[in-house]
């Protein structure tokens, strides 16, 4: 007992000295003895959610190469990537993911610039020489009016036009065909049913051109015929528009 008691500090000075030694040992454990503590690599840090979201959008932005409305994805992804970098710099002890955010920013910038440039180039060069660009907007009747060719469609009668649309699923029975119905949008294309009369063009391909049904946009160039009398067709009520197509692009 006397020996144990002899090891205790017997003055306030000794107690202060012992406290300093304990504090010094704890400071040394963090790699610093001057009060400037360094973070231990083993301390957990959360990956910035903004950085992760930016990377996900950067990957999904690849779809903007095919679908114009998705060009908004890389724009949102770029904003999130910048926000992620700022958050990491503001809270370095809590957040990590600078590399992820940097990769995401680069990816989103690539598609934000590249996709619009690709679509603009395609739009400027897709119409074959000798054909006039047209669309179903010129062929459709008034939404609340009689389903009949409007004046804008009648003006295209006999002209060589370039038109884009989707193949109606009921118009191709076999694997490949030279005659099918073209409709303006995916909703009509994929779910079938009876489209409006002025939303259909009966296309007849010439030469060695054959079409196969797929849920993607096709491009056609040929002579458009506008009939004021409804032409009956199988499985659908009929059509006012027919096209003798010389060029078919189904990709």
pLDDT values of the chain reduced to their tens digit, one per residue, 251 residues: 444 444 444 454 554 554 555 444 544 444 444 444 444 555 789 999 999 999 999 999 999 998 899 999 999 999 999 999 999 999 999 999 999 999 999 999 999 999 999 999 999 999 999 999 999 999 999 877 789 999 999 999 999 999 999 988 877 777 788 899 999 987 765 565 688 899 999 999 998 888 888 888 899 999 999 999 988 887 778 899 999 999 999 86
Q: Give, to the nearest 10 degrees, the angle between helix 98-125 and helix 72-90.
A: 160
* Rounded Cα distance, 105 and 53, in Å: 11
Per-residue three-class SS string for the chain = CHHHHHCCCCCHHHHHHHHHHHHHHHHHHCCCCCCCCCCCCCCCCEECHHHHHHHHHHHHHHHHHCCHHHHHHHHHHHHHHHHHHHHHHHCCCCEECHHHHHHHHHHHHHHHHHHHHHHHHHHHHCCCCCCEECCHHHHCCCCCCCCCCCHHHHCCCCCEEEEEEEECHHHCCCCCECEEEEECCHHHHHHCCCCCHHHCEEEEECCCCCECCCCCCEEEEEEEEEEEEEEEECCEEEEEEEEEEEEEECC
Enumerate the domain spans of the chain.
39-125, 132-249
CB 238 within 8 A of CB 232: yes
Q: Cβ–Cβ contacts within 10 Å for residue 104, how many?
A: 30
CB 16 within 8 A of CB 22: no
pLDDT in tens, 16-43: 554 555 444 544 444 444 444 444 555 7
pLDDT in tens, 114-139: 999 999 999 999 999 999 999 999 99
* Rounded Cα distance, 35 and 38, in Å: 9
* Rounded Cα distance, 196 and 239, in Å: 9
CATH code for the domain defined by 132-249? 2.40.50.870
* Rounded Cα distance, 171 and 242, in Å: 14
Question: Which residues, at least 6 apart from 152, have a Cβ–Cβ distance to it below 8 Å?
Answer: 138, 139
Q: What's the DSSP call for residue 38?
A: -
pLDDT in tens, 149-167: 999 999 999 999 999 999 8
Its pTM surpasses 0.75: no
């Amino acid at each position: 007992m006397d020996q144990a008691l002899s090891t205790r500090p017997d003055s306030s000075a000794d107690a202060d000295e012992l406290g300093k030694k304990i504090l010094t040992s704890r400071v040394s454990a963090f790699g610093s003895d001057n009060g400037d503590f360094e973070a231990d690599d083993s301390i957990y840090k959360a990956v910035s959610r903004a950085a992760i979201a930016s990377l996900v959008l950067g990957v999904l932005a690849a779809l903007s190469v095919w679908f114009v409305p998705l060009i908004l994805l890389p724009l949102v992804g770029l904003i999130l990537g910048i926000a992620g970098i700022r958050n990491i710099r503001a809270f370095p002890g809590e957040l990590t993911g600078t590399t992820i955010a940097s990769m995401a920013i680069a990816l989103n910038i690539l598609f934000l610039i590249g996709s619009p440039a690709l679509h603009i180039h395609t739009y400027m060069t897709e119409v074959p020489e000798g054909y006039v660009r047209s669309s179903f907007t010129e062929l459709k009747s008034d939404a609340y009016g009689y389903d009949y060719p409007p004046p804008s469609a009648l003006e295209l009668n006999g002209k060589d036009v370039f038109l884009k649309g989707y193949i109606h699923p009921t118009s191709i029975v076999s694997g490949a065909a030279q005659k099918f119905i073209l409709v303006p949008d995916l909703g009509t294309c994929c779910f079938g049913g009876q489209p409006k009369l002025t939303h259909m063009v009966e296309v007849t391909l010439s030469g060695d051109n054959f079409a196969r049904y797929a849920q993607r946009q096709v491009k056609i160039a040929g002579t458009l015929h506008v009939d004021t009398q409804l032409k009956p067709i199988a499985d659908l009520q009929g059509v006012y528009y027919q096209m003798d197509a010389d060029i078919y692009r189904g990709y």
